[in-house]
């Protein structure tokens, strides 16, 4: 037992926190030592989440000292802004920090301010943070102290696009992603827009210009394409499912690129990846295939009619889109088999 990784979950009462608990409580190499929640401090885990009633953990109010003394790694499942407040002292105390919030995803302070409406709360940490996309940045994650887990939408969009941009099979201009998310993507947020009768039998777009995930997606796609700047249309929708994101992405195929080229490119990048499933040609992704898994399912169709390619990707927004990917990063950080517990 001594050799288990001691993990703290800061902000454990939201959906990302609950999903971390689901994974880590069964993770053979991890002991969850500390779970914090201001709202539920003092309550047992079973009182808040009956699903975990068999555990004896208790929520505590967050205390840097307590977290630092009890843990090797801290997962921050907090709102942006608040996450940075915890990251700073925990990093100073030598913990590894895996941040599920948006605080350390962007490399540009200007973009942060533009999209989040405030100065970045800890700019000195922006450079040391590593963007936690294992399929692209595995080696960098290994040595990181601060990992910024990708957003849910960005994960579903960058995984299918990265190899195609990297290999120059598609244009990096005029990419469009029409994405659909289950309601847990809004967090365990109590607002009239998210009560059952307002979501059920409804589908609606939101944040169709200037969504906070937009600069993150563009930053990562620009890196994949090796260009300075990429501009896309990212159009999220809310649909009446609990978990799952599907992204339908439209891009311009470069001249002469064939369906086989696409398929082979994906195979080259992903055939040894445990958490990317390239579907056979002719199939399209479906969120129900990946619910409660850490897998991103990707598929495509080339449209001769317009010369565009249509990409289809599906993830569980709370697993590969948040907490599962966070644990995947932790496995890398601590030199475990990347699939442990997932």
Catalytic amino acids?
152
Number of residues in contact with a second copy, rule: CB under 8 A? 76
Q: What angle do CA 202, 208, 211 make, to 5 degrees?
A: 115
d(CA 183, CA 152) in angstroms, rounded, equals: 12
| In the complex, minimum distance from the CB of residue 23 to a second copy, in angstroms, rounded to a whole number | 13
d(CA 254, CA 174) in angstroms, rounded, equals: 13
| In the complex, minimum distance from the CB of residue 124 to a second copy, in angstroms, rounded to a whole number | 29
| In the complex, minimum distance from the CB of residue 233 to a second copy, in angstroms, rounded to a whole number | 5
Among 107, 212, 237, 254, binds a second copy (CB under 8 A): 237
Cα 229–chain centre separation = 22
d(CA 102, CA 104) in angstroms, rounded, equals: 6
Stretch that binds a second copy, among 75-83, 148-156, 282-290, 323-331 (CB under 8 A): 282-290
Nearer Cβ to a second copy, position 95 or 183? 183
Phi, psi of 165 (to 5 degrees): -75, -45
| Residue 194 binds to a second copy (criterion: CB under 8 A) | yes
| Residue 124 binds to a second copy (criterion: CB under 8 A) | no
Nearer Cβ to a second copy, position 92 or 173? 173
Host H or E run for residue 147: strand 146-148
| Residue 26 binds to a second copy (criterion: CB under 8 A) | no
Stretch that binds a second copy, among 133-141, 158-166, 197-205, 325-333 (CB under 8 A): 197-205
| In the complex, minimum distance from the CB of residue 151 to a second copy, in angstroms, rounded to a whole number | 18
| In the complex, minimum distance from the CB of residue 37 to a second copy, in angstroms, rounded to a whole number | 13
Stretch that binds a second copy, among 45-53, 93-101, 106-114, 124-132 (CB under 8 A): 45-53
| Residue 297 binds to a second copy (criterion: CB under 8 A) | yes
d(CA 232, CA 210) in angstroms, rounded, equals: 11
CB contact burial 232-269 (16+ within 10 A = b; e otherwise):
bebbbebbebebbbbbbbbbbbeeebeeebbbebbeeb
């Amino acid at each position: 037992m001594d050799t288990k990784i001691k993990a703290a979950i800061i902000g454990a009462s939201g959906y990302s926190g609950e999903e971390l608990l689901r994974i880590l409580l069964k993770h053979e190499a991890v002991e969850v030592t500390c779970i914090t929640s201001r709202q539920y401090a003092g309550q047992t885990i079973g009182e808040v989440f009956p699903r975990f009633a068999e555990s004896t953990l208790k929520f505590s109010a967050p205390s840097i000292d307590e977290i630092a003394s009890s843990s090797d790694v801290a997962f921050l499942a907090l709102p942006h802004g608040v996450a940075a407040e915890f990251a700073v002292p925990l990093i100073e105390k030598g913990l590894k920090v895996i941040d599920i919030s948006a605080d350390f995803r962007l490399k540009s302070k200007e973009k942060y301010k533009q999209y989040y409406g405030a100065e970045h709360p800890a700019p000195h940490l922006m450079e040391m943070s590593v963007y936690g996309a294992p399929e692209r940045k595995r080696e960098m994650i290994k040595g990181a102290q601060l990992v910024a887990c990708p957003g849910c939408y960005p994960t579903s969009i960058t995984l299918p696009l990265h190899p195609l941009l990297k290999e120059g099979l598609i244009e990096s201009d005029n990419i469009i992603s029409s994405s659909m998310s289950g309601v847990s993507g809004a967090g365990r947020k109590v607002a009239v827009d998210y009560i059952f009768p307002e979501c059920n039998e409804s589908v609606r777009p939101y944040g169709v210009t200037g969504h906070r995930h937009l600069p993150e997606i563009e930053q990562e796609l620009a890196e994949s394409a090796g260009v300075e700047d990429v501009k896309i249309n990212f159009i999220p929708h809310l649909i009446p499912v609990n978990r799952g994101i599907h992204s339908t992405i439209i891009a311009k195929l470069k001249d002469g690129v064939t369906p086989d080229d696409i398929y082979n490119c994906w195979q080259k990048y992903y055939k040894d990846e445990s958490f990317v499933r390239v579907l056979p040609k002719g199939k399209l992704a479906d969120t129900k295939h990946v619910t409660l898994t850490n897998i991103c399912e990707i598929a495509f169709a080339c449209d001769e009619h317009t010369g565009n390619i249509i990409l289809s990707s599906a993830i569980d927004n709370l697993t590969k889109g948040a907490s599962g990917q966070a644990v995947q990063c932790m496995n890398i950080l601590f030199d475990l088999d990347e699939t442990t517990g997932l």
